[in-house]
Amino acid sequence: MGPYGAGIHPVPMIETNNTLSNPTGPEWQFLVGEGTYTLKEDLHLATPPPHPSEATVPNPNPLSTLPQPASAGTSVSLIALECRPAPNLFYKGLSSTTLALSGAPSSIQEHPNEGRYSAEGGVASEDGRTGSTSDAAAASASITIGSAPAFGEGNALLTQAPSKDVNKKRKPKNNMTKSNSSFISRVIVNESLSKKLTERPNDGIFAFANINRAFQWLDMSSSTKQDYLTKILFTKAHCLCHDVNVHTKSVSHLDVIMGFSTGEVIWWEPISQRYTRLNKNGAINGTPVAAIRWIPGSENLFLAAHMDGSLVVYDKEKEDAQFNPEEEAVNGMANGASGESLDANNIGTHHNTIRINKSVHSKNQKVNPVAAWKLSNHRINAFSFSPDNRHLAVVSEDGTLRIIDYLKEELLDVFYSYYGGLTCVCWSPDGQYVLTGGQDDLISIWSLSESALVARCQGHQSWVSAVAFDPWRCDERNYRFGSVGEDGRLCLWDFSVGMLHRPKAQSVRHRGSVSSRYTALQRAETATSNSRLRSNSNLDTEDEEMAIAHPVEPRARIPMLPPVLVSIDGRPTCEEIRLGDLAG
């Protein structure tokens, strides 16, 4: 039998190409309050066939409980080298007055030097140039939102030695096109790459996409945008996620990181076609990388979420070494947890603490990892950095949303889904709200200043795949965001201060206030003291954990918002890039 289980000879690998179409007709349009959105170009990315050495399982049993190899389908990111002016800016720090759960409008204090940008790629114009800032996170790097210190500030061991040429960026060690690594199957570089890079407009958009075991680099400003600039095929590992460093981007340099199903990470510089392989053979963590992001403002550090419930900070230029949790870090866990409370037996149900296996302030910074935190034994599905570069929102398969002050390595809040796991997360441009989508087919809106769920959004009929705010349709009181799901639906949502209020018959609980937390702690202390005696240290720890964890709110207490638009596409939403243009 051949490698695909058919015939006696190996089946030759057939490489398919991307396809670009220009659909027309009313079925490719949808109408919202601001106008009509029209699909101009539909780019379908080819799914690579399995590698000949990769054994396929015919007729897999969908009811099997055996773990399946990690696969994430398609993930796409857009980036422009030239920053264009962003929409009118607004930013409200967490200390400012925000929405009250009673629904009363609140005054907004705008800071003249602070701004808002989306972390997602923006809508492109017909020629693939930036009608808006596609990599808005780059613009946020050029301004200061608040005064967040750099991650690891104060640890002299993380300070980089100054280079002679400030503008010269360090490159990875190995040549991608000449690599003899068994990890990489094939690298296909466009024969006109140098010419294309020279002639392309400065405000054009690059696209990076991982599709199973393939990774593509495309130029969206080209008339032949279906032709990739570079395509990398990996042998057996699937590329599950990637990110581009907007802090170091330039015409001559791009830093791209990729996370794989083997747990390994590749740092790739596409213009020079050089790469470095990190966490080789799972030396630090051998579980798949579910999500990966550069730490905001950092040239070297990035955060990877592994499927064993760990968050690991890597330095792209440090060597790997076999990693064992540091005793000092484990004994000084966040939120005052004891070592026993997060052992292998308890960590699956203990949501209110994080175990610091290595602190960013550790004196051992010669090799990776820079920091390592264990949240639970459940898979981390996604995470997102806040606009003020202080907080991290993490969603997991156990149905939790964790808000972490990653600069202090401290867990602040734990929220729970209505049921099932949470699959995606993002912050509002002003940092006031967090959106989550989940396996309960719902989108939840969480207020960070109130430490509360303020609304649920019902419009999908299957798991929610991604959520994102539209920075061009957000202001001090009104927010627009979009979502896509496994049901093939694209939903647009609007919510405002007036919408987010609890039913009048229900009492209002401001769990974010000191008084409400104090009352909750009093009730917990009284109830516990009546049942059994315990030490004061345990009392303090459990009370603190109760203040962090917020129970699930019943449906009757929380407003349910409908979408303002639902567009249904029968094809999987994760396999194509759609470039839209607003008409009329």
Domain assignment present for 112: yes
**pLDDT value at residue 10:** 47
pTM above 0.85, yes or no: no
Percent share of the chain, pLDDT over 70: 69
**Beta carbons of 74 and 211 less than 8 angstroms apart:** yes
What is the model's pLDDT at position 113?
36
More confident residue, 364 or 115: 364
What local confidence, expressed as pLDDT, does residue 52 receive?
Answer: 81
Encode pLDDT of 73-101 as tens digits. 789 999 999 876 666 655 444 433 333 33
Give the pLDDT of residue 7.
42
Mean pLDDT of the chain: 79
Q: Does residue 327 belong to any structural domain of this protein?
A: yes
- Dihedral of the alpha carbons of 88, 94, 98, 100, in degrees to the nearest 10: 150
* C-alpha–C-alpha distance, residues 349 and 190, integer Å: 50
- Look up residue 178 and give its DSSP letter: T
What average pLDDT does this structure show over 523-551? Answer: 52
User: Is residue 472 within 8 Å of 34, Cβ to Cβ?
Assistant: no
pLDDT at residue 159, rounded to an integer: 82
Which single residue is written with the structure tokens 């955060």?
303
Closest to 481 in 3D by CA, of 370, 561, 382 = 561
| Mean pLDDT value of segment 213-236 | 96
Query: pLDDT by residue (tens digit) across 30-64?
Result: 899 889 999 999 999 999 988 887 766 656 677 77
Q: How far apart are CA 290 and CA 7, in angstroms?
A: 36
Domain harbouring 313, CATH code: 2.130.10.10
Could you report the per-residue pLDDT of 467-481, keeping only the tens digit for each? 999 999 998 889 999
Residue 391 falls inside a structural domain: yes
Distance between CA atoms of residues 419 and 339, nearest Å = 29
Instruction: For residue 480, tell me if it sits in a domain.
Output: yes
In a domain, 113, yes or no: yes
Report the pLDDT value the prediction gives residue 87, as an integer from 0 to 100: 64
**How far, in Å, CA of 96 to CA of 109, rounded?**
7
Amino acid at 25: G
Q: What is the mean pLDDT of residues 107-136?
A: 38
296, 141 contact by CB (below 8 A): yes
Residue 169 lies in a domain: no
What whole-number distance in Å separates Cα of residue 70 and Cα of residue 8?
A: 29
Q: Containing domain of residue 34, as a range?
A: 19-51+69-158+201-511+550-583
In a domain, 171, yes or no: no
Residue 122 has pLDDT above 60, yes or no: no
What is the length of the chain? 584
pLDDT category, 65, cuts 50, 70, 90?
A: confident
Number of folded domains that form the chain:
1
What confidence category does residue 543 fall into, taking pLDDT thresholds of 50, 70 and 90?
Answer: low
Q: Report d(CA 64, CA 170) in Å as an integer.
A: 47
- pLDDT confidence of residue 235: 93
pLDDT at 486: 93
Mean pLDDT of 177-205: 94
Q: What confidence category does residue 269 fall into, taking pLDDT thresholds of 50, 70 and 90? A: very high
- Residue 507: predicted pLDDT: 43
Higher pLDDT, 330 or 246: 246
pLDDT of residue 512: 39
Task: Identify whether 184 is part of a domain.
Answer: no
